[in-house]
Amino acid sequence: MSTTTTVVRFDAFGGPEVLRVADEDVAAPGPDQVRVANRVIGVNPADLKRLAGAFGGRVPGVLGFEAAGVVDAVGADVEGFAPGDEVVWHGTGAQRALSVVRADHVRQRPSSVPVEQAAVLPVAAATAFSALVQADVGEGDVLLLHGASGGVGSAAVQVAHALGARVVGTASPANHDYLRGLGATPVAYGPGLVDAVRALPDGLAEVSVVVDLVGTPETVAATVELLGEDLAPADPDEPPRAVTVVGSDLSRAAGIVDKVDARGALDEVLALAEDGRLRLEISRRFPLAEAAEALRVVAGGHVRGKVVLEVRTGAE
Ligand SMILES: NC(=O)c1ccc[n+]([C@@H]2O[C@H](COP(=O)([O-])OP(=O)(O)OC[C@H]3O[C@@H](n4cnc5c(N)ncnc54)[C@H](OP(=O)(O)O)[C@@H]3O)[C@@H](O)[C@H]2O)c1
């Protein structure tokens, strides 16, 4: 049985101005799918890249790579989910009130993890976890995080602490107290970054691993300068000491390794959130119908923590 849902769609690649709010039919879930009534949808820079056509993909299309909500219907072959279950999922086309999703992309939401926290784990937090595990961040490390106050960065600070590392994070001065509140030592990006790191007390100048969430020539140069010979492990089987989530020809030529996907990252970050060790600040909330405005805020490049969309029901 199909039903009608609200969706934010685009009929051509472009910027936030091409987004349109519409009603569309949504199908019943197939045998391996569940249908989820989304309540909160995370907004990510990846939405802007998809909208611009950087990932290819189909047009018309629907943005959104993550959401949390309530299971509304379950496919015939699906086990482990029932209507009414509170869930979080990753996939594509989340900017809908109702999404049909592969069941293996859905997880139960632990009751201790609020719905808007769960909604922002699959992209930012799972990316942070994957990058840190790939770089084998652990006990005794001093991690330099380029771009520590955004969505991935805020998660990475907390994941690094859970793994036993100390964190030096770059942000504009307006976000330095925020980073201190997360337990990281802030330094300003821009001219003087390398000297500022080298002047840090308590062994924090001895950066042992770098995760780059910005990917500019400046961050690449600072990584090369601060890691020096340690950037390239002597044994190629050793984990990389510099990983980026925004790889480029420049970063690869410098020996900084692109993040690869790590299986199970959503389960790992859900467990950290359930333990109270991972929480992301939600700095802006918009109704689903204002997705274009939310995207403009993300495009500004200075979001602290996360921006989300809310699907508001008549009762709210
Ligand atoms: N490869 C993957 O799988 C993957 C997955 C997720 C994200 N990404 C990419 O990773 C990047 C970060 O994602 P995100 O979700 O964390 O973005 P975001 O939340 O939009 O990042 C905003 C943050 O970036 C900081 N920032 C801006 N310019 C900076 C600079 N020059 N140096 C240091 N910090 C700077 C801002 O801090 P101030 O306001 O203090 O300036 C702000 O807190 C994006 O390019 C995204 O596309 C890749």
Show me where the domains of the chain are located: 3-120+280-310, 124-258
Best residue among 246, 256, 261 to mutate for probing ligand 1, ranked by most atoms within 8 Å of CB? 246
Architecture of domain 3-120+280-310: Alpha-Beta Complex (3.90)
- Which atom of ligand 1 is least distant from the CA of 130? 3
User: pLDDT 10s digit of each residue in the chain, 316 long?
Assistant: 668 999 999 999 999 999 999 999 999 999 999 999 999 999 999 999 999 999 998 899 999 999 999 999 999 999 999 999 999 999 999 999 999 999 999 999 999 999 999 999 999 999 999 999 999 999 999 999 999 999 999 999 999 999 999 999 999 999 999 999 999 999 999 999 999 999 999 999 999 999 999 999 999 999 999 999 999 888 888 999 999 999 999 999 999 999 997 667 999 999 999 999 999 999 999 999 999 999 999 999 999 999 999 998 765 5
Residue with CA closest to ligand 1 atom 2? 245
Contact 307, 301 (CB under 8 A): no
> How many other CB atoms are there within 10 angstroms of residue 136's CB atom?
15
Yes or no: is domain 124-258 CATH 3.40.50.720? yes
Establish whether residue 152 lines the binding site of ligand 1, counting it when its CB lies within 6 angstroms of any ligand atom: yes
- For ligand 1, whether the C-beta of 153 sits within 6 Å is yes
Ligand 1 mean position, distance from CA 265 (Å): 19
Closest to 52 (Cα-Cα) out of 305, 298, 302 = 298
| Contact yes or no for 166/140 (Cβ under 8 A) | no
Nearest-angstrom CA–CA distance, 131 and 9:
31
Q: By alpha-carbon position, which residue is closest to atom 44 of ligand 1?
A: 45
